[in-house]
């Protein structure tokens, strides 16, 4: 349940980031840093799912 909540928050953050990028309110450096952070978060979520033997079902 906790991982589900974290995944929902991650998706919301991703959507907000996309809106900010499309809105032109971020610098190139901020866009790069944001993209890397979101990728790291997604990778960590995948690691946790594997550790706890969870699936996306």
pLDDT value of residue 23: 95
pLDDT in tens, 9-45: 989 999 999 999 999 999 999 999 999 999 999 999 9
Quick one: residue 53, left, alpha or beta (phi over 0 = left, psi -120 to 50 = alpha)?
Answer: left
What is the dihedral sign for C-alpha 20, 21, 25, 29? positive
Q: pTM for this one?
A: 0.75
pLDDT value, residue 37? 93
Query: How sure is the predictor about 6, in pLDDT bands with cuts at 50, 70 and 90?
Result: confident
Domain boundaries, the chain: 1-7+27-52
């Amino acid at each position: 349940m906790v991982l589900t909540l974290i995944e929902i928050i991650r998706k919301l953050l991703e959507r907000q980031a996309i809106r900010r990028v499309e809105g032109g309110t971020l610098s190139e450096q901020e866009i790069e840093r944001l993209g890397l952070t979101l990728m790291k978060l997604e990778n960590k979520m995948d690691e946790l799912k594997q550790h706890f033997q969870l699936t996306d079902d």
